[in-house]
């Protein structure tokens, strides 16, 4: 008697189905988690223009936060030499590269 019992075949099939279903459910859950995380993450642009302490959006030109009163550091002016375009250390009066007087 080499005949395989149908119950064994059926149970084997069920085990395979459960494994496959579990695999797909796992992938689906991971995708949902990734999608949810992407929506929860704040955008970098909102942080860049906001208060460094409370994150409230600030209008340009303000020296103190409208929400918490924290001092807002003015954005560092592009410190490059007008003569040669060399990067200049803030506070320097003359360009290290070409000697051009830096208006500060």
Which CB, 22 or 69, lies closer to Zn ion?
Answer: 69
Which CB, 15 or 101, lies closer to Zn ion?
Answer: 101
Distance CA 49, CA 55 (A): 8
Rule CB under 5 A: say whether 84 interacts with Zn ion. Answer: yes
Rule CB under 5 A: say whether 11 interacts with Zn ion. Answer: no
Which one-letter DSSP state was computed for residue 43?
A: P
- Residue 28 contacts residue 20 (beta carbons within 8 Å): no
Rule CB under 5 A: say whether 65 interacts with Zn ion. Answer: yes
Distance CA 17, CA 23 (A): 10
Residue numbers of the site for Zn ion (CB under 5 A)? 51, 53-54, 56, 65, 67-68, 70, 81, 83-84, 86, 95, 97-98, 100
């Amino acid at each position: 008697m080499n005949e395989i019992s149908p119950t064994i075949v059926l149970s084997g099939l069920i085990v395979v189905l459960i494994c496959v279903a579990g695999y797909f459910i796992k992938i689906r859950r991971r995708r949902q988690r990734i999608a949810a995380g992407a929506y929860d993450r704040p955008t970098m642009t909102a942080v860049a223009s906001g208060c460094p302490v409370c994150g409230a959006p600030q209008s340009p030109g303000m020296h103190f936060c409208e929400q918490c009163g924290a001092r807002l550091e003015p954005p560092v002016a592009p410190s490059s030499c007008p003569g040669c375009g060399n990067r200049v250390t803030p506070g320097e009066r003359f360009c290290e590269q070409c000697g051009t007087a830096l208006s500060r």
